[in-house]
A and B are shown apart, each in its own frame.
Chain A
Amino acid sequence: MIPLDHVIGLSAILFAIGVVGVVTRRNMIVILMSIELMLNAVNLAFVGFNRLWPVGPDGAASYDGQIFVLIVITVAAAEVAVGLGIVISMFRNRDSVNIEDVSLLKW
């Protein structure tokens, strides 16, 4: 039996690594990759909790966590498609993927 608190701990560690990537990196593509890492950490927590409570209140098997993971994967795919489109148009206009070069909306 895999200890589930360690699964949730691994999820928290991966999420923290993703946050550090978003905060410290200047490359827009690596920031998008770090967001993917954070989404993966959340997926791992969902699968772990589904393993912990596999039976719904009516006594039948419950797959709420795993179906949430499938939806999160869909959202991640959509987000990457749009995000990389933004990266390409940003590179076309500014000739750079450094987020310091697109600070027009920054306060």
Chain B
Amino acid sequence: MTVPVFLFYLFATLAVVSALAMVLNTRNTVAAAMSLVVTMVALAVIYLLLEAYLVSAIQIMVYAGAIVVLFLFVVMLLNLRSDDFAPGRARLSRLAGALLGVFTVGEVVRHWGALPAPPPLPEGFGGYRAVGIALYTDYVLLVEMASLLLTAAIVGALILAKRKID
């Protein structure tokens, strides 16, 4: 087992464990958000190992840097001491979760080794220059649509969080 493969399994285990810690933590919402950060960083390392360098940097900056901080802001703003809510249809949803887990693991085991080995990469694959050129030539319309979406989201969030609209 080479070093990148070992690192992949290490960070894959870390991602799964911290994702489980986020979902199963019913006491502390801040701790759940911190587990989410660990998952995001582990996924960024896996992107590096898959040679998607720009995506890895954006993952750290946007997810770990912006989105989770937004979550933490809201959790601390609302001052949620605990979120141990009374379970509603807990038994049914736990049954559904267990069934989904068994199905997913079954599918993963069934398709073990089904994909071919990854081919060798062209020079400079996944770097800032190559992805940036693709983004601003072939996909420039997509970038403009993303900027429109972000503008709409900013206006929407402002209107929602405003106390009263004059």
Contact = CB atoms under 8 A, between A and B. Distances in A.
A36 B55 contact: no
A5 B160 contact: no
Interface string B101-115: 101110110011111
Contact of A33 (B32, B55, B62): B32
Interface string A65-107: 0110111011111111110111111011000011010000000
Interface in A16-36: 16-21, 23-27, 29-30, 32-34, 36
22 contacts: A4-B118, A8-B111, A12-B108, A13-B16, A16-B103, A17-B19, A19-B100, A20-B23, A34-B23, A40-B63, A48-B50, A61-B122, A61-B125, A66-B131, A70-B54, A73-B63, A79-B153, A80-B71, A85-B161, A89-B160, A100-B85, A100-B88
Given A13-B104, A85-B156, 13 more contacts: A2-B4, A3-B5, A4-B115, A10-B16, A14-B19, A27-B85, A36-B67, A43-B55, A47-B52, A55-B122, A66-B126, A73-B63, A85-B161
A75 to B, nearest CB: 7
B32 A30 contact: yes
B119 A25 contact: no
A78 B153 contact: yes
Given A40-B39, A73-B58, A1 B118 contact: yes
Interface of B, helix, strand, loop or mixed by DSSP:
helix
B53 to A, nearest CB: 10
Interface of A: 1-10, 12-21, 23-27, 29-30, 32-34, 36-37, 40, 43-44, 47-48, 50-52, 54-55, 61, 63, 66-67, 69-71, 73-82, 84-89, 91-92, 97-98, 100
A66 B9 CA distance: 22
Interface of B: 4-5, 8-9, 12, 15-16, 19-20, 22-23, 26, 29, 32-33, 36, 39-40, 43, 46-47, 49-52, 54-55, 58-59, 62-63, 66-67, 70-71, 74-75, 77-78, 80, 83, 85-88, 90, 93-94, 96-97, 100-101, 103-105, 107-108, 111-119, 121-122, 124-126, 130-131, 134-135, 139, 142, 146, 149-150, 152-154, 156-161, 163
Given A5-B111, A84-B157, A51 B51 contact: yes
